[in-house]
Structure 1
């Protein structure tokens, strides 16, 4: 009898334990379902806020066209989010007559890139292309401007010795040297101590040339002569995008614009002198000019700005500025994704009950890593798992969670690429070429070159805006000649009186 009672008690206890376990499982399952539902709601709202249907893209494009006109206007009453300037007022290469060896220098934040190559005219590609990059020593970085010029000239002596001209190309006359300055991620170029501050020299009242540019050309030519080099600075640009545009024009006479989509972003296009009344008195009476847009500054109420963009901007070093850049450039895409994931982790326990500490570190998710996760085609999204573990220390992710992370990347990428496409269409519309003329747009930068899905979204956005009838009039393609060749093409540009 006692054994029966004991057995019944054990059975009852076991049943109770099983019931409790079932209730606990049911509770956690219900909680997880609620949390997952919360993640899905956050995702859906984010997707709605980021949506870029064709009417929205045209609103953005038309607003940019309006701002472009206002920025070039001579009226003091015209207002614009853009601060465009005439960056170049000399003819660009034609691709027909440029023959021989040309040289270029690209001054970067901490490095010098030297390039030389042989152009053969008739739109033929570069041959015998050589590129060399050397660091700028810290002692030179904090030295005088002339010390920097002397260092560049000394490095050019070594570079030209390693890559000499052919005997039949040697000339008693000085060769032309193209010279560009690349800004850093903060969109400014300033080498401490050397007093080189070369961003937007032309943005005030005098296009193309002012005292700072003149001083650099004079100092650089003095250093070249001192080191016995038969080179003279022919063209100097404070943004190497103009060099990319010169390369595009060398290969195709219909090239009208160049766009950089990398860690930062910018655009430049070819127009006529009559289109820039703001500088009417200081420009040639006729001919082509290159207008640098500084389009990262573009802003309009039509941009699909979300709460994550607003918080990113508020925490940035330049709140209220470069809004367009913060939505489309490689510097910020990964950070937007991180901010969305943080909210999901905090409000819906996406990565467990505790928010991973590294997830709270701003800008830890770089765009190349974001692209790798987004473009992961493995069945279980293994690359997503590896990247989240490597960057944030997040492990034990379900396939559903990995898919959700990839969806966030897709939303951010699609919006950024399609907005860049709207900007591309805006340039061509400003030039009045959409309906009846072929226009080639040159793209440069790692975001466009290496992020396949971003590139595809940009192209499809342009196509959707223009439709079947007009989409063939805009040709978007990667720049020719290779990275760093812009100064070389500037050197090949004819002088204005030729």
Structure 2
């Protein structure tokens, strides 16, 4: 597999070597396999735009077209991602000037991850109220004719939208399981909580963080045409000609302006191959899925995203221990603890490129109370690379599929998320896999390049709010209005 260092395994016993090779074979993805996956991915993207649907929802954002770069003004936004509630007040000054932002973060209490809808939204509304009270002078001038402040709501979960101001939650992902929200409009629930607390705001746009990243990145750099977020979860967004979205043909008339023929698509591609037809699942992946908060869903995400990479590696270690390959005869109860290993652990382990591997040895001792022998350290270090390399190569399949869907050979991708920015070698391995899939000439520069995405959930939401209000002169937007 590209990127691995077989010399790490020099000198280990034959039985160890045999087991490592067996595990490696189950994680390896060849160039032909990458291309098959990318081709199938592209077909599923297309199918998601039809009435038939696919594992990839291809959710409509009702953000029509890219920003002009001239959007200006102050806008409130709320970013709800499941761990924190972030409230922002952003000043936009146009493409050529830097934005200014005031923000506060409020940690979501653990017990609210599985509470009722009423209690969840009351907490979020309380955060907004506290923010406005704390920054009263800054916020007061943003009231509209009705005495309310326009607010963009960033909600990082899959929703079905029929306009820019509504969104039915399809299902919770990641670690949330709040009752009474799935199948309901999150905007009306949140607005009701705001009204109950007499917080003077009006939600004018529902935004997905990945769509926000596309808009904010394009606002700064018009050459960015795709956004990708890979952190605890994974997702991507791009613009699609609405005439290709057959599941909404009835929404638009033939007189639609050419400038409004692009519809922002929030792919929610983490759900790719939930039907399990293509992904090269190992028994480690099957176990991680079975033990997850939402078994049988987000199968692609569970192979590439940060929330699950540590768990995959934990399952490998448990098997090695059971086979007597690491810490034989010793009890390792710490390995039975879910999430004891996270993506940052793997990234730190991969960063140890020394011959002695002292850093990874110390890491195992500090974090897992495991005192590894030299051969065990070699095996554990090598297997870390298997998990990270496979994740990067699978991730590249989605980017390649979207590029083909858009019929572009060169593209800038606005990328965000802790895995992309902080996981050792992830970006380089992704680019190498893209080169294999798209068959770039050997000595050519990269035709698809990654760039740091602008803040989608804060700045992007503010820009979308500005676009929404401009389209309707301060009102809310409907599909018939072209946004």
Fold agreement, TM-score > 0.5: yes
* Correspondences of 1:214-225 after superposition (within 5 Å): 215-216=188-189, 218-219=191-192, 222=195
Q: Residue 20 of structure 1 corresponds to which residue in structure 2?
A: none
Provide structure 2 residue ranges, at least 5 long, that are not aligned to the other structure.
1-9, 158-170, 474-483
Structure 1 contact 39–344 (Cα < 8 Å) conserved: no
Structure 1 residues 303-322: Cα deviation after superposition (integer angstroms, max 9, x where no partner)? 33223223333443444332
| 1:246 aligns with one of 205, 215, 219 | 215
Partner Cα distance (1:431, 1:370) in 2: 34
Partner Cα distance (1:343, 1:150) in 2: 46
TM norm structure 2: 0.79
Partner Cα distance (1:101, 1:490) in 2: 12
Structure 1 residues 255-277: Cα deviation after superposition (integer angstroms, max 9, x where no partner)? 32222211111222211211210
Q: Residue 295 of structure 1 corresponds to which residue in structure 2?
A: 269
Query: What SS does structure 1 have at the residue aligned with 2:173?
Result: coil
| 1:47 aligns with one of 12, 21, 24 | 24
Q: Residue 76 of structure 2 corresponds to which residue in structure 1?
A: 103
- Are 2:397 and 1:426 equivalent residues in the alignment? no
- Are 2:251 and 1:275 equivalent residues in the alignment? no
Q: Residue 441 of structure 1 corresponds to which residue in structure 2?
A: 413
* Correspondences of 1:349-360 after superposition (within 5 Å): 349-360=325-336
Greater percentage in helix: 1
Partner Cα distance (2:94, 2:407) in 1: 29
- Are 2:420 and 1:451 equivalent residues in the alignment? no
TM norm structure 1: 0.77
Residues 80 and 442 (structure 1 numbering): CA distance in 2 closer, same or farther, change over 3 Å? same
Structure 1 contact 89–289 (Cα < 8 Å) conserved: yes
Q: Residue 87 of structure 2 corresponds to which residue in structure 1?
A: 114
Structure 1 contact 72–277 (Cα < 8 Å) conserved: yes
Residues 92 and 105 (structure 1 numbering): CA distance in 2 closer, same or farther, change over 3 Å? farther
Higher Cα radius of gyration: 1
Give how far 1:482 is off.
7.8
Structure 2 contact 230–420 (Cα < 8 Å) conserved: yes
Query: What SS does structure 1 have at the residue aligned with 2:13?
Result: helix
Residues 258 and 451 (structure 1 numbering): CA distance in 2 closer, same or farther, change over 3 Å? same
| 2:204 aligns with one of 214, 234, 256 | 234
| 2:460 aligns with one of 460, 475, 486 | 486
| 2:348 aligns with one of 372, 383, 408 | 372
Structure 1 residues 83-119: Cα deviation after superposition (integer angstroms, max 9, x where no partner)? 3221234344222x11233321113436421112322
Partner Cα distance (1:145, 1:387) in 2: 38
Give how far 1:55 is off.
1.8
Residues 234 and 273 (structure 1 numbering): CA distance in 2 closer, same or farther, change over 3 Å? same
Structure 2 contact 85–124 (Cα < 8 Å) conserved: no
Partner Cα distance (1:256, 1:112) in 2: 28
Partner Cα distance (2:295, 2:187) in 1: 33
Structure 2 contact 84–106 (Cα < 8 Å) conserved: yes
* Correspondences of 1:309-458 after superposition (within 5 Å): 309-395=285-371, 397-434=372-409, 438-458=410-430
| 1:131 aligns with one of 100, 103, 118 | 103
Partner Cα distance (1:328, 1:149) in 2: 30
Query: What SS does structure 1 have at the residue aligned with 2:185?
Result: helix
Give how far 1:410 is off.
0.4
Partner Cα distance (1:278, 1:482) in 2: 27
Structure 1 contact 349–355 (Cα < 8 Å) conserved: no
Q: Residue 166 of structure 2 corresponds to which residue in structure 1?
A: none
Task: Work out the number of aligned pairs and report it.
Answer: 437
Residues 42 and 362 (structure 1 numbering): CA distance in 2 closer, same or farther, change over 3 Å? farther
| 1:463 aligns with one of 416, 429, 435 | 435
Give how far 1:54 is off.
2.1
Give how far 1:481 is off.
3.9
Partner Cα distance (2:323, 2:212) in 1: 48
Give how far 1:344 is off.
2.0
Provide structure 1 residue ranges, at least 5 long, that are not aligned to the other structure.
1-32, 202-210
Q: Residue 478 of structure 2 corresponds to which residue in structure 1?
A: none
Give how far 1:288 is off.
1.9
Structure 1 contact 463–471 (Cα < 8 Å) conserved: no
Give how far 1:472 is off.
3.9
- Are 2:44 and 1:57 equivalent residues in the alignment? no
Decide which moves more: 212-221 or 59-68. 212-221
Q: Residue 185 of structure 2 corresponds to which residue in structure 1?
A: 212
Structure 1 contact 35–350 (Cα < 8 Å) conserved: no
Residues 223 and 160 (structure 1 numbering): CA distance in 2 closer, same or farther, change over 3 Å? farther
Decide which moves more: 362-371 or 176-185. 176-185
Structure 1 contact 102–118 (Cα < 8 Å) conserved: yes
Structure 1 residues 236-291: Cα deviation after superposition (integer angstroms, max 9, x where no partner)? 13x32222222122122233222221111122221121121012123566422122
Structure 2 contact 348–424 (Cα < 8 Å) conserved: no
